[in-house]
A and B are shown apart, each in its own frame.
Chain A
Amino acid sequence: MSDPLSALAGARYAGLATIEEAGLQGMITLRGDLSSKTLQKAVKAATGAAVPQTRRIAVSDTGAVAWMSPDELLLLVPYAEVVDKTAALTDALSGDHALAVNISDARAVFTLSGAGAREVLGKICPVDFDVSAFKPGDFRRTRMAQVAAAFWLDEAETFHIVCFRSVAQYVFNLLMASAHPQSKVGVY
């Protein structure tokens, strides 16, 4: 094995907000019955976090779990452990109808931080980014201009954005255009 490479090798841009490609992140798509005790236990074991509420993300010291749909979660784990954790989940859920897939390499991850972050996303995602409407711990699957994307906001007001790996460059360019220093909207 050679060293795994993320899509954009840590590309960075600072404008109205700071955009950084965050490197490789272990990610597991888990589909199953979210109310199942077995599943909840397995999720906790894999990530240290509990199954979150609708459109929320639950974060622990070792991982996180995001709500993707009524029967789908996105588990975040360290990249180096993702293969083992996927296998462990599959084992733990072998008696249930469930599907755990490592999709770490199918994605690119960006962080977006700074005062203008809400406005930068507000130009390309049909989401209400008012501080009272989108809070830390909120998670959203949506559209980012012409591609699918998901993101959550952490306690430090940093957005974590997930998109498909093939469109990493498009998303980075899109965020750069939205963060153009002279394009401040001035509403958030």
Chain B
Amino acid sequence: MRSPPNAPAGAGGSSNDPSPNPICRRLLEKVRSMSTRLANQGRLIDRSKPIEFTFNGTRMTGYAGDTLASALLANDQLLVGRSFKYHRPRGLVASGAEEPNALVGLGTGDRFEPNQRATTTELFSGLSAQSQNHWPSLEFDVGVVNNKLARFLPAGFYYKMFIHPRPFWKHIYEPIIRKSAGLGQAPDQELKDADTYEHFYFFCDVLVVGGGVAGLQAALVAAKSGAKVLVLEQNAHWGGRAPVDGGMIDGDYPEAWVEQALAELTAMENVTLRNRCMGAGVYDHGYALGYERLTDHAPGQGGPRHRMWRIRAKQIVTATGAIERPLSFAGNDVPGVMLASAMRDYVVNWGTAPGKRVVVATNNDDAYRTALTLHEAGIEVVRLLDTRETGGGALMAEAREKGIRVECGRGIAKVKDGKCVTKVAICAQNGQGGAQEEVEADAVAMSGGWSPVVHLWSHCGGKLIWDDAQAHFRPDPERPPLGADGTGFVVAAGSANGPLELGHVLADAAEAGAKAAKAAGFEAEAKPATGAAQDEAPMQPVWLMPARAEIDLRMKAWLDFQNDVKVSDVQLAAREGFESVEHTKRYTTLGMATDQGKLSNINGLAILADSLGSEIPQVGTTTFRPPYHPISMGAIGGEARGEIFQPLRKTPMHDWHEANGADWEPVGHWRRPYAFVRAGESVKEAVSREILNTRQNVGLLDASTLGKLIVKGPDAGRFLDMMYTNMMSTLKVGKCRYGLMCSENGFLSDDGVVARIDEDTWLCHTTTGGADRIHAHMEEWLQTEWWDWKVYVANVTEQLAQVAVVGPKARMLLEKLNAEAGGGMDVSKEALPFMEWKDGEIGGFTCRAYRISFSGELSYEIAVPASQGQAFWDALMTAGEEFGVMPYGTECLHVMRAEKGFIMIGDETDGTVIPQDLGLNWAISKKKEDFIGKRAQERSHMVDPDRWQLVGLETLDGSVLPDGAYALGNGVNANGQKNTIGRVTSTYHSPTLGKGIAMGLVRHGPKRMGEVIEFPGTDGTTYKAKIVDPIFYDKEGEKQNV
């Protein structure tokens, strides 16, 4: 058991003590006394509301308002994870989204999520977190042996070492490396995320990303112009850093001003404010994504966990603030070394600190605020090391006045390695690291200056300029991301735009708000609040500490904490010729971790520039890509999960099929019954039964999914002659014709029966999967090529339920229905012959009946209004009982058509097959001047007599050929593979014929009737099959024409 934060010092030494190292343990015992929160600090926590949580199974207590990070710190849990490559112990570096180290697995079971940042995780009761990338435990990790070998694991090590022998990579190296590396565990693949997610579309004039003082100031100016404004703040709290950093706004404390600004914005009807909602990405044309975390801080409250805002804004203001840079000194990754601003945050916001004896190292004035804050909170500032020979400005004076020992021109030579800070060696910044003094300390606050958060500015092409004075990249206002009209649609505001001093930040933000509002078409006036902060001395760029550090120090000076990239690695990459920053990034993995280089980017490229003897602006940055910070897969998927993962299309008879044993087959978004399986029957047996019954009695097929397109107009005949390979304009009213459609390249694309309805109107049946595609195909030609042709197309697929009534007793069944209804359509051979259609009534149902057959049997396809589909089906089933009627599924349909040698789009065709390959020359008009695909089919390769052509295939022993099997020819090809001369396109057991039947494409096939060719199976058997006519059943077609 851990002691609660307010328990007496040293309570509860336990077996979970983080370190076997006696020095560290002793120090931790001392630090433990720190677990009493700092008095008069912690503006965000509510000490009256303790919250219990667990870390690696250990129970801990925090307060409402804590982040997991601040609560861990308050529980002395300095060690929060292990690094990716060397498994070095790692502690908190930052206090916000930029944190590279404190990644944890959150939750358990179906709510487990890896790689969550402790700094952005609000504490809640029952939170359960596990540290990552350690084995067997966080405290003792075997991977740390890599750390001892660090000298032998430089940048590019894996690339160099494991490239040979080639097969070893896949089977030996990769699995082992993957096991020892990696961050969090992937969630259990058998479990489903228990939460729900959603999207929300929102439109506004001005989107302000960032709810710090700059964002609020910009929003106030824009909102006062009347523009519709949306403000997003990633944290739970508004105001950003200002309440911690101090200064005065309009003569008041920043916290008070923030409260007042929020009240003002909340009262305005044209303003929407969202906290816990990160601006994740900026895209073309003012599209932006917001990532709202609704219940992460309060699981169990119900409703969606995350909401993805899909925003269209006329203008976007990025008031995303700035991130402090670490300093690169040896041991800057030891737990307890922290960004100076983060340490200040932990003290002011949450009343906790990583130590009680702190060394502060800085190259700028801002870190003095940390020193002053620590001092004020009763924490000893052992040294303040300022790299500048002349030190800082007013803040330095104040620090000295308070008795803080400030040393100018000094830096850190190294922090002693270990699981916590114990000793800090101090040296001259402008030296090689010869330590001049060693002090005992338990924490280090570092500040290498500030980099504007330019990510959102850059996502859509905004360019950066190098600011020498601040040593950072900031948005170039002359080169913003451009919208459709060629003008900028993103404006950076506040410290995201470069200014760091409070007054400048507010003025810049007001300008940005006004600029955005004006660009969105409003009259705006930039009236900033006045900000006052102490004057600061110029900062000094420091990319390495000390400036001329020896190699042993550079090898311990971390740039990228999460991916273990050190100063020496980037220097090595430069020496090896990786001059481009993008190449260096990939070679060293600098900035490739889940924090995407938020802390390491500028430091890394400064080292690279130095190594190349180049300037930083010439080296440039790597590309900033959305999202700003990792977002959940659930939020991306939105509502699409479970039943609404994908639309499921249902015919009017779907529910009946479901209730009657349908074994479903997905066809596009439809589900069609593959077979109707009866109790005690296998699917295969059901298919055989359906085939035999349909051939002997009568079967029903739900054909509603087949596409039905009405094509009407004076030019409709001419149009269809172009669409189909055969002639449709000459089809007589009342008749049907089978047609083929090809792509421009001549390949067979779709097929179906076309019926001529009247002089101007045709009805085109398409395949199930082709309905929408062919409709779009027709519209495309009509709208782009033949826009002056008078043709309208309407897709009536879903208007009609279509039932195929198939089998020798089909007519008897329909006649019985008519008799029961007291009359109806004459369905005799004479009145409704094969390949004709008729409108009328059958069994009292208004319908259109087609005499068409895909089975070779006497067959009617009858279309009724969809709202009558089920009733019609029921009537057929009832009346058909005496004839042995049975429903049949798609597999029965497939087998019956194969028995008849009918091709199936998608089986016999695969996008490379032309109708001529399938012996369908009879369906290609020779009279027509043109049709889509005609010229392509005249190309040399299309008329090549060596093209594989359709034949029937019959195994010698009656077995079923394996689907997709290839037939072998003589010899081998240039790659040493056996030559192939054909392949199986459809293969079934035919219960009608009692043997295996197949269709395939074979070189010179139709000329090789009777020859036996060999198909090796994947099971080691070689199948011998005879080439035969593809029509296996009723070659003369007598049965369908009765």
Contact = CB atoms under 8 A, between A and B. Distances in A.
Interface string B846-880: 10000000000000000001111011000100000
Interface of B: 196, 198-203, 228, 272, 301-304, 307, 310, 312, 638-640, 643-644, 646-652, 669-670, 710, 712-714, 790, 792, 794, 796-800, 844-846, 865-868, 870-871, 875
Given A7-B652, A105-B799, A174-B639, 7 more contacts: A1-B868, A31-B792, A101-B799, A104-B799, A126-B310, A145-B640, A164-B798
A99 B647 contact: no
A100 B651 CA distance: 24
B303 A183 contact: yes
Given A106-B798, A133-B203, A167-B647, A177 B867 contact: no
A135 to B, nearest CB: 15
Contacts of A4: 865, 867-868
Interface stretch (A43-51, A52-60, A117-125, A151-159): A117-125
A111 interface: no
Given A123-B639, A146-B646, A183-B304, A105 B201 contact: no
Given A101-B710, A166-B798, A182-B303, A6 B639 contact: no
B304 A146 contact: no
A2 B640 CA distance: 37
Contacts of A99: 710, 712-713, 792, 794
18 contacts: A2-B844, A2-B868, A5-B868, A99-B792, A99-B794, A103-B794, A104-B867, A105-B800, A123-B200, A126-B201, A145-B640, A146-B647, A165-B866, A166-B651, A168-B650, A170-B643, A183-B304, A185-B200
B848 to A, nearest CB: 13
Contacts of B202: 122, 187
A127 interface: yes
Contact of B644 (A6, A166, A173, A183): A173
A98 interface: yes
A122 B201 contact: yes
Contacts of B272: 187
B799 A122 contact: no
Q: What band does the interface of chain A fall in when counting residues whose beta carbon is under 8 Å from B?
A: 35 or more
Contact of B796 (A24, A32, A101): A101
Which 6 pairs of residues, A with B, have the shortest CB-CB distance? A182-B303, A4-B867, A2-B871, A166-B649, A105-B866, A106-B798
Contacts of A24: 867
Given A170-B648, A177-B644, A97 B713 contact: yes
A174 B639 CA distance: 8
B866 A106 contact: yes
Contacts of B200: 119, 122-123, 185
Given A170-B644, A178-B639, A183-B304, A106 B796 contact: yes
Given A98-B792, A102-B799, A182 B301 contact: yes
Nearest to A32: B792
Contact of B203 (A3, A71, A103, A128): A128
Interface in A136-188: 145-147, 164-170, 173-174, 177-178, 180-183, 185, 187
A1 B650 CA distance: 22
B647 A170 contact: yes
A99 B761 CA distance: 9
A84 interface: no
A97 B302 CA distance: 56
A3 B868 CA distance: 7
A2 to B, nearest CB: 4
B798 A123 contact: no
A106 B201 contact: no
Contacts of B796: 101, 103, 106
Contact of A123 (B201, B302, B710, B792): B201
A91 interface: no
Nearest to A121: B201
Nearest to A171: B647
A40 interface: no
Contacts of B303: 180-183
A40 to B, nearest CB: 18
Contacts of B712: 99
Nearest to A96: B790
Contact of A178 (B198, B797, B866): B198
A165 B203 contact: no
A59 B870 CA distance: 33
Contacts of A173: 643-644
A185 B307 contact: yes
Given A101-B796, A178-B639, A183-B198, A166 B670 contact: yes
